[in-house]
Homo-oligomer: A and B are copies of this chain.
Amino acid sequence: MSLLLARDLAADIRAGRTTPRAVMEQVADAIGACEGEVRAFSALGLDAALAQSLDPALATRPLAGLAVGVKDILDTRDLVTAYGSEIYAGWRPHNDSPVVAMTRRAGGIVAGKTVTTEFAFLQPSETRNPRRLSHSPGGSSAGSAAAVAAGMLPLALGTQTGGSVIRPAAFCGVTGYKPTYRLLPTLGMKTYSWHLDTIGLFGARVRDVAFMIAAITGRDLDIGDTLAERPRIGIVRTGRADQAGADAHAALEAAASAAEATGARVFDLRLPDELEAADAAHGNLQDFEAALSFADELAYHRDRLSPLLREHLTAAEAITPDVYDEARRTAKRARQRLGDLFGEVDALLTFSAPGPAPEGFATTGSAIFNRLWTLMGCPAINVAGLTAANGMPVGVQVVGRFGRDRQALEVASRVESAIVG
């Protein structure tokens, strides 16, 4: 299964070398061949997508009629939106969420809804890792990562509150990009934590997610083949480094060496105490908000939540406003300190996950190396291309300065090209 390269496909369409319809047929064929085993989709709209792909105006639009998968935590007006929960089985929202409307406006075609774990939390989904079907694709954006990894889609939307974009991207061996907080609006997303929820993008290469964010926002983020020039890259292992396995450490060393070999200025960086402290504050901030975000479900559908989520939210209801306020102050101090830190460094390079995808489906893996960067709101990109001893993908994570997404993407593309050429 070869990955679909969104930016190249759009260029081919614009140059007349192929058509939106031909690409959509390729997508439909790949889905026909792989979906039975991978189970990346909660709903498919291929007939409508194939029909839409005949619109001759598409070739001139930013996304050129490319197929996009939409995580089923995001509202869509034409496809059932169930947020991975039986509570919403068959639910039809009134509207497209703004990020979906922006995607359509840019000439993207929604081919289907991709599987999310229940309300984007930790209960494993039915989706399989296309790199090895016996392994987890990660979560919560399981379907989006798996569909891109299986070559069923060139692009997909996901979301991250802890590590739900970077982790599945790392496990499935694709690019996952969590933009700066609120660069993409989270309206029409089933909220878990309003200070953390962030819309993310999946594609084959770094340049593909850069192409997509530029297309849907109109911002100057389509980096193409641009690579950061001699970037200052701080290697960050964090106070939780001992929880990263040998594969993760080896990948981080390999990525750092490769980047240095291509001209990057690479050095070890110890995280300031304010940031280590903020990592521990993520949970209280997230869960206090979750207990309010799910107030209706807790009042009327508590027994229809998975035991895992029900127990988690029940505990969350006991978090006091004082604990929450202190977590927010801790996060604010850390953001200020991180801003200072980015005066000395262009990007951070750290683990995407503790290791490769877990075998089996008991867990979607850990967000331990992601939650801090979600809390900080800064851009993060999983760079794919390295592999573990068992042959499964291992990602490394490039973290950029808040609001400096173009620089983060250019550094990530530099690291990617150093790894995979």
> Measuring CB to CB, which residues of chain A are less than 8 angstroms from any residue of chain B?
77, 88, 91, 94-96, 98, 101-102, 104-105, 182, 185-187, 191, 194, 217-219, 289, 292-293, 295-297, 299-300, 320-321, 325, 403
A293 touches B94 (CB 8 A): no
B296 touches A95 (CB 8 A): yes
**Chain B residue with Cβ nearest A75:** B296
B77 touches A296 (CB 8 A): yes
Task: Enumerate 30 A-B pairs (CB-CB under 8 Å) in ascending A order.
Answer: A77-B300, A88-B94, A91-B94, A95-B296, A96-B295, A96-B296, A96-B299, A98-B292, A98-B293, A98-B295, A101-B295, A101-B299, A102-B292, A102-B295, A104-B299, A105-B295, A105-B299, A182-B194, A185-B194, A185-B289, A185-B293, A186-B194, A187-B191, A187-B194, A187-B292, A187-B293, A217-B321, A218-B321, A219-B321, A325-B403
Give, as a whole number of angstroms, the nearest-CB distance from A382 to chain B: 25
Give, as a whole number of angstroms, the nearest-CB distance from A38 to chain B: 29
**Chain B residue with Cβ nearest A291:** B98
Question: In the assembled complex, which residues on chain B have CB atoms less than 8 Å from the CB atom of A96?
Answer: 295-296, 299
A91-B94, A217-B321, A321-B217 known; A101+B187 contact, CB < 8 A: no
A280, B230: Cα distance in complex, Å? 40
A300, B77: Cα distance in complex, Å? 11
**Chain B residue with Cβ nearest A297:** B95
Q: How often does this chain occur in the complex, in copies?
A: 2
Question: In the assembled complex, which residues on chain B have CB atoms less than 8 Å from the CB atom of A321?
Answer: 217-219
Question: In the assembled complex, which residues on chain B have CB atoms less than 8 Å from the CB atom of A187?
Answer: 191, 194, 292-293
A101, B300: Cα distance in complex, Å? 10
A187-B191, A191-B187, A194-B185 known; A98+B217 contact, CB < 8 A: no
Give, as a whole number of angstroms, the nearest-CB distance from A294 to chain B: 8
Question: In the assembled complex, which residues on chain B have CB atoms less than 8 Å from the CB atom of A98?
Answer: 292-293, 295-296
Give, as a whole number of angstroms, the nearest-CB distance from A78 to chain B: 11
Question: In the assembled complex, which residues on chain B have CB atoms less than 8 Å from the CB atom of A295?
Answer: 96, 98, 101-102, 105
A81, B306: Cα distance in complex, Å? 29
A40, B61: Cα distance in complex, Å? 46
A3, B300: Cα distance in complex, Å? 34
A53, B345: Cα distance in complex, Å? 61
Give, as a whole number of angstroms, the nearest-CB distance from A144 to chain B: 21
A403, B91: Cα distance in complex, Å? 37
A98, B296: Cα distance in complex, Å? 7
Q: Which A-B residue pairs are the 7 nearest by beta carbons?
A: A101-B295, A95-B296, A98-B295, A98-B292, A96-B296, A101-B296, A187-B191
A295, B98: Cα distance in complex, Å? 6
A221, B194: Cα distance in complex, Å? 23
**Chain B residue with Cβ nearest A103:** B295
**Chain B residue with Cβ nearest A104:** B299
Question: In the assembled complex, which residues on chain B have CB atoms less than 8 Å from the CB atom of A289?
Answer: 185
Give, as a whole number of angstroms, the nearest-CB distance from A318 to chain B: 11
Question: In the assembled complex, which residues on chain B have CB atoms less than 8 Å from the CB atom of A191?
Answer: 187
Question: In the assembled complex, which residues on chain B have CB atoms less than 8 Å from the CB atom of A218?
Answer: 320-321
Contact of A185 among B102, B185, B292 (CB under 8 A): B292
A293, B188: Cα distance in complex, Å? 9
Give, as a whole number of angstroms, the nearest-CB distance from A243 to chain B: 32
A295, B191: Cα distance in complex, Å? 19
Question: In the assembled complex, which residues on chain B have CB atoms less than 8 Å from the CB atom of A104?
Answer: 299
